[in-house]
A and B are shown apart, each in its own frame.
Chain A
Amino acid sequence: MLFKMKKDILAGEITDKLVFQNRRKIIKAATATAIASFIPASVSAKIKKYADIPFGPYSASLQVTDVEDAKNYTNYYEFTTNKNDATVLSKALKTSPWSVTVEGEAEKTGVFNLEDILKTNPLEQRIYRFRCVEAWSMVIPWIGFPLANMLKQFKPTSKAKYVEFTTLYNPDIMIGQRGTALEWPYVEGLRMDEAMHPLSLMATGMYDDELANQNGAPLRLVVPWKYGFKSIKAIVKIRFSETMPATAWNKAGPNEYGFYANVNPEVPHPRWSQSRERILGASIFTPKRNTEKFNGYEAQVASLYSAMDLKKYF
């Protein structure tokens, strides 16, 4: 009589314990490799330019907005009034080499290469709230340097009461500048004490990487206690002046967009409330967040405006 022998399981057929325990990770990694093999090397090999930049002061420990949302939802009227189209339309912009012209009430004026400016202004990372006048907000990890550091290098004179910034004017590439949505080029400005405030930042990057064109590459302003339109993009000119600069949105709607444009839930826009803001990235059932005075930076900046009626100087 033949006994049917129970076949032993060969050692080689047994899945290694380590492999078994990590099976999900392994499958994930394999899938990722498979997907990556379809992506051109130029894309997948791109290393983040600003990884490991140390955090500077005033960086908030907030949950940052999803990088794709922050990158691709942007008001950049130089290209389009549609917030979702700037990414594609701004691709043609060449941001290197880049120079910044410095004019006006300062000792060191002239044309400066961005590279040289960056050599003497060490970068730091700062997580800031970003509040748009349209009542939505993000939290963005910027890479940049304090605006004050750079401005001091130009040695502004005692006559310098304001600083004015100008965006590149190039309607061949910035096709929105062919239209009349705003008066071109875009101009923004700060009072000298606002510009010298340690919160004011010149950004060259965000999310550990260089600024994407649609986010204002290669150099933009970030003033976290003011509405987003103050944070001018693609800066080519800085002018120190004795008088208040005529800024782009203020010219377009003087009763709607003030020079100061401080985030303030108590002062509504003439056509909508500023009491609340939609946090981008939240679920569609998440209620809006109550907007904070000076966008949450009241402790740091309120003293700049202590003698001012914020309803009048909005």
Chain B
Amino acid sequence: MRPSKIQWAVIKVIVFILCLMPFLLLLMDTVQNQLGANPIETLHFRLGDWALRFLCIGLSLTPLRKLLKQNYLSRFRRMLGLYAFFYASMHFLVYIVLDLSLSWESFVDEVPKSPYILVGLLTFILLTPLAVTSTNAMQKRLGKKWKTLHKLVYVAGVTAVIHYLWLIKTLTVEAIFYASLMFVLLAYRLFTYFKARAMYF
């Protein structure tokens, strides 16, 4: 049985709310003063974690769709990608507004000394055009170029993981988990790409 149009709309709203939950919980903790001794760090890290998680989830959809033969999964690609961008934006905003207190002097001092922040900024810059061109209208307008442009998400996946690995003091289980997951997700693309080309030879 295939869901009707209305059922799809309901499902999408549910997924939308689920994806917003981490943000709402964080907001609740903020209002209730439950962010711990270093609230800015908590906000910053939790938002960053979710940006990376949504990037991973978004990049898992296509492999999962093919492996499980569940075509409906591709319906959520845009929403999850935009959520990755949303959490990345909030992560970026917390850094600029709260951590640096909007101080240009601090920005100029801290960012060049921190290669991992530069890589984080690069990730955010890579994701921005993808978010901007995520509408149907833009997709139509860009035609074939749209697909090429959106391959940037693979680069962003790599830089996001580098950003993470580069900032931690010692290797943690979480870091290894995200790095391996991203490796598998991108290796899958390389594999399918070369497999498709090999057929011509």
B partners with A: yes
By a beta-carbon cutoff of 8 Å, the part of chain A in contact with chain B is 66, 68-70, 72-73, 77, 81, 83-84, 134, 136, 180-182, 252-253, 268, 271-273, 275-276, 278, 280-281, 284-288
- Residue of A275, A278, A284, A286 touching B109 (CB-CB under 8 A): A275
A90 to chain B, nearest CB (A): 16
Total A-B Cβ pairs within 8 A: 67
- Residue of A81, A252, A271, A280 touching B38 (CB-CB under 8 A): A280
CB-CB under 8 A from A73, the residues of chain B are 36-38
* Complex alpha-carbon distance, A284 and B100, angstroms: 11
- The answer to whether B36 touches A84, judged by C-beta atoms less than 8 angstroms apart, is yes
* Complex alpha-carbon distance, A218 and B189, angstroms: 54
**Interface residue B139 (Cβ < 8 Å from any Cβ of A):** no
Chain B 137-170 interface mask (CB, 8 Å, partner A; 1/0): 0000000000000000000000000000011011
- 20 A-B pairs within 8 Å (CB atoms) are namely A69-B37, A70-B37, A73-B37, A77-B170, A134-B169, A136-B38, A181-B170, A271-B167, A273-B110, A276-B106, A276-B109, A278-B38, A280-B37, A280-B38, A281-B37, A284-B40, A284-B43, A287-B103, A288-B99, A288-B106
Further contacts, 4 of them, CB under 8 A, given A66-B37, A181-B172:
A134-B169, A276-B110, A278-B38, A281-B37
B90 to chain A, nearest CB (A): 14
- With contact pairs A69-B37, A280-B37 given, residues A271 and B170 touching in the complex (Cβ less than 8 Å): no
* Complex alpha-carbon distance, A73 and B42, angstroms: 12
> Chain B binding site: helix, strand, loop or mixed by DSSP?
helix
CB-CB under 8 A from A182, the residues of chain B are 170
CB-CB under 8 A from A268, the residues of chain B are 113
CB-CB under 8 A from B117, the residues of chain A are 272
- The answer to whether B113 touches A272, judged by C-beta atoms less than 8 angstroms apart, is yes
* Complex alpha-carbon distance, A278 and B37, angstroms: 11
A270 to chain B, nearest CB (A): 8
Select from chain A the residue with minimum beta-carbon distance to B170: A181
CB-CB under 8 A from A81, the residues of chain B are 169-170, 172
CB-CB under 8 A from B49, the residues of chain A are none
**Interface residue B39 (Cβ < 8 Å from any Cβ of A):** yes
Select from chain B the residue with minimum beta-carbon distance to A229: B169
**Interface residue B95 (Cβ < 8 Å from any Cβ of A):** no
- The answer to whether A288 touches B167, judged by C-beta atoms less than 8 angstroms apart, is no
- With contact pairs A182-B170, A271-B116, A273-B114 given, residues A284 and B37 touching in the complex (Cβ less than 8 Å): no
- The answer to whether A271 touches B106, judged by C-beta atoms less than 8 angstroms apart, is no
A280 to chain B, nearest CB (A): 5
CB-CB under 8 A from B171, the residues of chain A are 180-181
* Complex alpha-carbon distance, A81 and B169, angstroms: 9
* Complex alpha-carbon distance, A278 and B42, angstroms: 13
CB-CB under 8 A from A68, the residues of chain B are 37
Interface size class of B (residues with CB under 8 A): 20 to 34
CB-CB under 8 A from A83, the residues of chain B are 37-38
- The answer to whether B37 touches A271, judged by C-beta atoms less than 8 angstroms apart, is no
* Complex alpha-carbon distance, A281 and B35, angstroms: 11
* Complex alpha-carbon distance, A281 and B40, angstroms: 11
- With contact pairs A181-B170, A252-B170, A288-B101 given, residues A271 and B36 touching in the complex (Cβ less than 8 Å): no
A29 to chain B, nearest CB (A): 25
Select from chain A the residue with minimum beta-carbon distance to B111: A273
- Residue of A69, A272, A286 touching B110 (CB-CB under 8 A): A272
* Complex alpha-carbon distance, A284 and B63, angstroms: 41
* Complex alpha-carbon distance, A275 and B117, angstroms: 16
A1 to chain B, nearest CB (A): 64
Q: Which of B81-116 contact A (CB under 8 A)?
A: 98-99, 101, 103, 106, 109-110, 113-116
Counting chain B CB atoms within 10 Å of each CB, which of A84, A281, A288 scores highest? A288
B152 to chain A, nearest CB (A): 26
- Residue of A69, A181, A285 touching B101 (CB-CB under 8 A): A285
* Complex alpha-carbon distance, A83 and B40, angstroms: 14
Select from chain A the residue with minimum beta-carbon distance to B117: A272
B4 to chain A, nearest CB (A): 46
- The answer to whether B170 touches A278, judged by C-beta atoms less than 8 angstroms apart, is no
* Complex alpha-carbon distance, A272 and B143, angstroms: 42
CB-CB under 8 A from B36, the residues of chain A are 69, 72-73, 84
- The answer to whether A284 touches B170, judged by C-beta atoms less than 8 angstroms apart, is no
A133 to chain B, nearest CB (A): 8
